[in-house]
Structure 1
C-alpha cells in the first residue's frame, strides 16, 4: 500500500463512522509531517450544522491540534471530491495537497462539476490527486444511497 492509500484507508474508516450515524459516509484525514493532526466525518445531521462536512471537521480538528488556522504543507485525504464550500475552506486554510477517492459529478469542485479549488481567481493553488481507492470510496456511497432509496420505497 502507498502512503496515500494508507491515509485514505483511515478516511474510509471515518466514512464508516458517518454511515453508522446515518450520515452521508464521507471521511477525511489531515496529515502534516507524516502525522495525522485532524480527522473528521460528515456530521451535518447530528450537529444540525450544514457546514459539518468531513473536510471541515478535519480542518477544524487540525487547526486546534496545531493551534493555527493555516495548514501550510498539509495533505487532506477525503473519500469524496470536495464541494464548493469545502474547496473554499481548503484553499483558505492553505492546504498544500488534496487527495480524494471518488469523484462527485453533481457537486465536485475540483473540476468534475465545477472548478473552485484552483480557479484562476484563487490566490492559493492546491495540488490535487484523485482516484485513490476510488472503487472503495464510491462503493460505500453507493451502498448507503441504495439502502436509503430502498427504505424510502413504499411497500
Structure 2
C-alpha cells in the first residue's frame, strides 16, 4: 500500500486527484504501478485502477490477471470494480472509503451480486494516510478556487 500511496502523491504533483494503485503477483512481486490521470489524458476512464490494469495486461501479454492483488488508496468506483472482475483480479486491498462513488462498501456493494468471479476484499490499510492526502488535496483545491 505504501507504493500505491507514493503513486497517489505523484498524481497530486500533476494536479490529478491523488489516487494510486499497484498490482502484485501471488509472490507479492510488483507487476505495475499507476495513478489517476483523467485530467492530463482528457480521459474520464483514466483512474489509477484502470491504468494499472492496462499496464499489467500489456506487460503480461494477457487480459486475465489471475492470482494478482490490486492495492489502491481509495475504494474503487463501479467502472473500476467492473474492470477488476473482467481482469479476474483475485484480491483487492483498498485504504479509504469513497462515500460518493465507492462500489465495494460505500454507495453500492457491487461484489455482493452474483458474478462469474469472486474478489477477496480487504479495506482500511493505511486509511488515515490516504484519507488525509485526499482531504488535503481538496482543501488546497478549494482554497485555490476561492482565491482566483
- TM score, norm. by length of structure 2: 0.96
- TM score, norm. by length of structure 1: 0.92
Deviations 1:107-144 (A, max 9, x none): 1100211112x132321110000000000010110000
Unaligned runs of 5+ in 1: 1-7
How many correspondences in the alignment?
147
Instruction: Please list every run of at least 4 consecutive aligned residues from structure 1 whose deviation after the TM superposition is greater than 3 angstroms.
Output: none
Matched, 1:66 2:63: no
CA distance in 2, matches of 1:146, 1:45: 18
Counterpart secondary structure, 1:45: helix
Matched, 1:37 2:31: yes
Between stretches 71-80 and 121-130, larger displacement belongs to 121-130
Unaligned runs of 5+ in 2: none
CA distance in 1, matches of 2:79, 2:38: 13
> Which of these residues, 117, 128, 134, is aligned with residue 141 of structure 1?
134
C-alpha RMSD over aligned residues: 1.0
Between stretches 18-27 and 31-40, larger displacement belongs to 31-40
